[in-house]
Structure 1
């Protein structure tokens, strides 16, 4: 159970006096301390829907114990380091996170939204000023801790879990003057006997969100699991597993771009029946009430909803899960494939955590130089796995313990 020190007194996370204590220090300079480590990691207090919440200070995730919900590995080991402070800015005083997006959330007549890139950005320095639609998915997956794994999660992850934590992660996120939950549609789990009430809640969300003073037609964001993409009379029709009665139409032009950009994701999805193909997309509702996709991206995950990008990474994640390991999966965000990042960070090795890198067999000199710089400047241990080689021996785990 989490414990916090607030103005000299220790509270458990379920202490009935915690809310009053947080209210007293809200908007003061007093910082609650998370006691997962000693003498404590500073936190801050935000207020959401009348409820006080304790949140991690910006860029302080690595200061927490590995078994603490606030733990995050160093941001520079993943694509998060490139966008934090630029495309993602946290306002501690207001308890809000400001997101800068490089895609539209409204559709103005005569002006098409920016077209999705037909190829992954390949420049040496990725754009850190705005989040692509794929990067927004990576960020929300990170914020939901769906990139985190520990043995206690075995058998406890379903779409209901994903829905719950993605919805929670969206709160307090502001973009283009909008509170993200007002435009983000994460389908709830589907049950046949509750079909009508689920449909009514979806219609109410769309109808309520359509009322806006912004110019043009509002665009929504959907995150869901793809069931199938089938031929329609014109273009294609995407069906999500959680929304079998609400179709998302894809134009032929967009479908061609999807095939080109996300060939690997579709190939993996076809090869492994147990994995999930997750999509994030912006969509509008036409006068007939049909959803029309404007821009989208794909991401594949293991059966436990942990993201991966290739067969080696899938095998590594499954080996770690089967071995009862504790780890965090690195996300690429805006980083191109030509830039290195830690595939996973083992948070159960001592005295230092271990970052594992999956290195392409044809890695360029620039890639290897960047990888050397990354590992030399990091306080963690490092382990490299060259594609095509046998998986290296993974350092043994040490059971973490909370600060006494």
Structure 2
């Protein structure tokens, strides 16, 4: 539980009057101090759905105590350090975060329904100064808190919780032209008694993207969990959970590229029981209200909704979770798969957090890994799955 100091008075985060105090501080543009660790890092305030939220100042995550909810592992241990300040620009004066994307939110050229539009990008080429689709999902997942784990979170994550905090994470983000929340669609949890109301809300949101201008169509950004995929009457379709009556259509060539590009992620989803396969996509909506896939990226997550890249990461994350450890998962963002990163940072070790790495045995990778460890202020732990059993975690 956090405690904030505002004008000399200390306020626990569960204090019944805290919202009133934060609102007055927000109106006066005051900076609360988080009392987790001297010299008590400053916070800034943002407004979301009528509530005032305290957020850590940019690049200060490491200034907080490792047990504090505002703690963040050093950005250079993941792919976050590559995009902070360039693709992600945080303005503490107005509480807005400007995001720069390397994918388009407009579709040029005319196509008529029901022909599936869109080419699925393989996202191999990236630009560190802009966010790829996958990096955008990584950022929102991180901001929503689903890279963090503690024993108290067991059995408390489900789609309704995931959706709520992803939308909250997007609330203070914007593109160059408009708020991210105006572009982002995340399906509600399906409820039979609210079926029609949910469908109507979806139609209203998507109607803003329905094809009107043949020369440039606005695209929607969609996040959801893959349910299934396969042949449609014309081409192929991908269906998301909680969105059974609104599939995403694409042509055969794009579908084949999609399954080839994401063979690893699809394989992990098939092989790892109880895992979820998250998708982020740009989607066009034709005049008939049919959704067509333009570009997509996938991210497997464990049954606890923690992202993982391969079987070794999943084994380590499951070991940490079932051992009652408290940690933050590192994400790759735009960082190439040949580059090392801290798979997770344990926040329950003393006297300082411990970065966990997985060794892959390739000479160049090993050299860069050792350099990353040498430059880090955190303690380090390395696991080589080819030679070591996964048993002795840092105490």
Calculate the TM-score normalised by the size of structure 2. 0.92
Residues 1:295 and 1:55: Cα distance change in structure 2 (over 3 Å): same
Residues 1:29 and 1:211: Cα distance change in structure 2 (over 3 Å): farther
**What is residue 150 of structure 2 aligned with on the other side?**
150
TM-superposed deviation, 1:369: 2.2
Residues 1:338 and 1:93: Cα distance change in structure 2 (over 3 Å): same
TM-superposed deviation, 1:204: 1.8
**Could you say what secondary structure the match of 1:249 adopts?**
strand
**Could you say what secondary structure the match of 1:89 adopts?**
strand
More moved, 321-330 vs 50-59:
50-59
**What is residue 372 of structure 1 aligned with on the other side?**
370
**Could you say what secondary structure the match of 2:42 adopts?**
strand
**What is residue 312 of structure 1 aligned with on the other side?**
312
Superposition pairs of residues 273-284 of structure 1, within 5 angstroms = 273-284=273-284
Residues 1:335 and 1:116: Cα distance change in structure 2 (over 3 Å): farther
1:235 and 1:250 in contact (8 A); partners too? yes
Residues 1:212 and 1:157: Cα distance change in structure 2 (over 3 Å): farther
**What is residue 216 of structure 1 aligned with on the other side?**
216
More moved, 267-276 vs 318-327:
267-276
Superposition pairs of residues 1-400 of structure 1, within 5 angstroms = 1-26=1-26, 30-109=30-109, 116-118=120-122, 120-121=124-125, 127-208=127-208, 216-361=216-361, 363-365=362-364, 367-397=365-395
For 1:169 and 1:146, how far apart are their aligned partners in 2? 11
**Could you say what secondary structure the match of 1:307 adopts?**
coil
Q: Can you list the C-alpha shifts for 1:241-270, whole angstroms capped at 9, x where unaligned? A: 111111111222221221222110011111
Any gaps of 5 or more consecutive residues in structure 2?
A: 112-116
TM-superposed deviation, 1:71: 1.5
For 1:307 and 1:212, how far apart are their aligned partners in 2? 37
**What is residue 114 of structure 2 aligned with on the other side?**
none
TM-superposed deviation, 1:117: 4.4
**Could you say what secondary structure the match of 1:269 adopts?**
helix
More moved, 350-359 vs 143-152:
350-359
TM-superposed deviation, 1:49: 4.9
TM-superposed deviation, 1:351: 0.8
**Could you say what secondary structure the match of 1:318 adopts?**
helix
For 1:185 and 1:154, how far apart are their aligned partners in 2? 27
TM-superposed deviation, 1:346: 0.8
TM-superposed deviation, 1:192: 1.8
Calculate the TM-score normalised by the size of structure 1. 0.90
**Could you say what secondary structure the match of 1:97 adopts?**
strand
**Could you say what secondary structure the match of 1:86 adopts?**
coil
Residues 1:368 and 1:183: Cα distance change in structure 2 (over 3 Å): same
**What is residue 402 of structure 1 aligned with on the other side?**
none
Any gaps of 5 or more consecutive residues in structure 1?
A: 398-404
TM-superposed deviation, 1:368: 2.1
